[in-house]
Amino acid sequence: MGYQPLEHLLPKAGNSIYKLVRTAANRAMELADGQPKLISNPSSEKVTTIALEEILNAKVVLKEVADHFAPKEKDMKEKSSEKETVTVESK
């Protein structure tokens, strides 16, 4: 079982332990029903551990706090220009 620090998980759930538990439980139920994983983990891990890892990696966040974890336009432009530079260098 993996350990996810609570202080890193709470901001992704609006700093509410109740919302964090509900978000993780809902995502774990989706995974148990056959939804694909959003991160690559060994298949032997339990769905609750996978759900918490997805929350930790900001793959699953509450809608009300999603804006804080979405990439900003400026960051996206910088990343796209970095990708272009890497592509040019590889040619």
Distances (CA, A) of 81 to 4, 69, 89, 90: 33, 21, 12, 14
Average pLDDT, the chain: 76
CATH code of 6-90, in short, is 3.90.940
- Checking if the pLDDT of 36 tops 80, the result is yes
pLDDT of residue 32: 94
Instruction: Give the integer Cα–Cα distance in Å for 69 and 89.
Output: 30
Whole-model pTM: value is 0.69
pLDDT at 30 over 90: yes
Report pLDDT for 34.
92
Question: Quick check: helix, strand or coil at residue 39?
Answer: coil
Does residue 61 surpass a pLDDT of 90?
no
